[in-house]
Amino acid sequence: MTNDSPEGEIRALGGGGGGSGRGGIAQRSRADDNVTILTSSMDLLRVGRSRASSGTEAAPSLASSVDLSTASMELSIQTRIFKIIVIGDSNVGKTCLTFRFTGGSFPDKTEATIGVDFREKAVELEGETIKVQVWDTAGQERFRKSMVEHYYRNVHAVVFVYDVTKMNSFRNLQTWIEECNGHRVSASVPRVLVGNKCDLVDQIQVPSNTALKFADAHNMLLFETSAKDPRESQNVDSIFMSLACRLKAQKSLLYRDVEREDGRVRLTQQTETKSSCPC
Ligand SMILES: Nc1nc2c(ncn2[C@@H]2O[C@H](COP(=O)(O)OP(=O)(O)OP(=O)(O)O)[C@@H](O)[C@H]2O)c(=O)[nH]1
């Protein structure tokens, strides 16, 4: 389990968009919400310090430190971060799916996730490098209780996972969706449904058309896949890449419009760009 929580945050309110998963259906919607980038005061402090300790130059005045901070922020915001949380019953394969996407492999051994594990992957979309930050959440109630608020805070997209060989994990999706809605996650934040463990073909309990109906009713794409089967790795990638494409298409940052507000940098999204992203 890693604990490297993000430093700067990108808060993108709203979601939706298109794409298609295996056997899935595309639901398209748009949101024009603003994108707000908050850079923590810790960043300001760190920038001030690194300049002060850089050797020959005298320690900066407050004014020059702030200028430098702004420059640094402008640099750091070049890389956008999309926070995607992965939710579902314990043992459905959330850890393995996130491993497959970020590391390209299936872990030999996993243990129940406690709290959350962060995994990150930089992806290139239409010439822009975007960090897809995947939050692998705990499925067991006792390991997630104190973390739930953090999961949903400023989330950009949600991946709901069930195990195709466990009907119960599919039935419980309703509870996971209610939890998500209960944490004020806007209906416009893109959500996808993933049926994992499709390699266990003899044990499948959840028929594809049942899952499709459910996904349709909840305005989600459906992906049926296997974190274990290497032949499915592209399909696993497309779960996260389709979300990244949708988020990128919606969020156009105008870097010019930088305002300072109590150590915060706010970038206002004024227009929605048309994307030629293939997803
Ligand atoms: N056959 C098969 N087994 C899988 C697949 N994905 C995960 N598993 C197995 O399912 C078990 C649970 O996987 P995890 O990824 O740890 O499950 P989780 O949803 O993260 O569980 P929690 O951390 O408790 O919430 C492990 O034994 C995995 O090896 C898959 O696609 N196919």
* Maximum average pLDDT range among 77-86, 121-130, 169-178: 169-178
pLDDT attached to residue 279: 58
Q: Is the CB of 200 under 6 A from ligand 1?
A: yes
Phi-psi region of 40 (alpha: psi -120 to 50; beta: other; left: phi over 0): beta
Task: State how far the Cα of 259 lies from the Cα of 250, in Å rounded to an integer.
Answer: 21
Ligand 1 pocket test, pick from 22, 90, 94, 96 with the greatest ligand atom count within 8 Å of Cβ, gives: 96
Poorest-pLDDT segment among 109-113, 176-180, 198-202, 246-250: 246-250
Q: Torsions phi, psi of 227, nearest 5?
A: -70, -25
**Which residue in 70, 52, 9, 111 sits closest to 260, CA to CA?**
70
Task: State how far the Cα of 52 lies from the Cα of 59, in Å rounded to an integer.
Answer: 4
Q: How far is the CA of 94 from the centre of ligand 1 (A)?
A: 6
Task: State how far the Cα of 76 lies from the Cα of 61, in Å rounded to an integer.
Answer: 22
What is the average per-residue pLDDT within 170-193? 94
Mean pLDDT (the chain, rounded): 73
pLDDT attached to residue 276: 52
Judge whether residue 251 has pLDDT over 70: no
Q: How far is the CA of 223 from the centre of ligand 1 (A)?
A: 16
pLDDT in tens, 220-241: 999 999 999 999 999 999 999 9
**Could you tell me which residue, 264 or 198, shows the higher pLDDT?**
198
Judge whether residue 38 has pLDDT over 80: no
Protein residue whose Cα sits closest to atom 6 of ligand 1: 93
What is the average per-residue pLDDT within 141-165? 95
What is the average per-residue pLDDT within 5-23? 30
Judge whether residue 69 has pLDDT over 80: no
Q: Torsions phi, psi of 72, nearest 5?
A: -65, -40
Strand partners, 117: 136
Which value, to the nearest 10 degrees, does the dihedral of the CA atoms of residues 255, 34, 9, 88 take? -140
pLDDT attached to residue 19: 33
Q: Is the CB of 42 under 6 A from ligand 1?
A: no
**Could you tell me which residue, 42 or 82, shows the higher pLDDT?**
82
Helices (H) and strands (E) in the chain, counts: 9, 10
Poorest-pLDDT segment among 9-23, 54-68, 195-209: 9-23
Q: Is the CB of 208 under 6 A from ligand 1?
A: no
Q: 0.80 exceeded by the pTM? A: no
Judge whether residue 169 has pLDDT over 70: yes
pLDDT attached to residue 250: 78
Report the SS3 class of residue 62.
helix
Protein residue whose Cα sits closest to atom 3 of ligand 1: 197
CB within 8 Å of 275: residues ≥ 6 apart: 126, 245, 248, 249
Residue appearing with tokens 């992806």: 123
pLDDT attached to residue 271: 40
Q: Is the CB of 197 under 6 A from ligand 1?
A: yes
Q: Is the CB of 265 under 6 A from ligand 1?
A: no
**Could you tell me which residue, 38 or 182, shows the higher pLDDT?**
182
Ligand 1 pocket test, pick from 110, 172, 199, 236 with the greatest ligand atom count within 8 Å of Cβ, gives: 110
Ligand 1 pocket test, pick from 91, 163, 173 with the greatest ligand atom count within 8 Å of Cβ, gives: 91
Q: How far is the CA of 270 from the centre of ligand 1 (A)?
A: 42
Q: Is the CB of 165 under 6 A from ligand 1?
A: no
Per DSSP, 202 falls in state G
Q: Torsions phi, psi of 182, nearest 5?
A: -65, -15
Q: Is the CB of 93 under 6 A from ligand 1?
A: yes
Which value, to the nearest 10 degrees, does the dihedral of the CA atoms of residues 5, 11, 14, 19 take? -50
Q: Is the CB of 249 under 6 A from ligand 1?
A: no
Protein residue whose Cα sits closest to atom 2 of ligand 1: 197
Residue 279: how many CB atoms within 10 A of its CB? Answer: 17
Asked whether 189 and 15 are in contact (CB, 8 A), the reply is: yes
Q: Is the CB of 177 under 6 A from ligand 1?
A: no
Helices (H), 165-266: 167-171, 173-182, 208-217, 233-250
- How many percent of the chain have pLDDT more than 90? 57
Task: State how far the Cα of 136 lies from the Cα of 148, in Å rounded to an integer.
Answer: 12
pLDDT attached to residue 249: 84
Residue 256: how many CB atoms within 10 A of its CB? Answer: 8
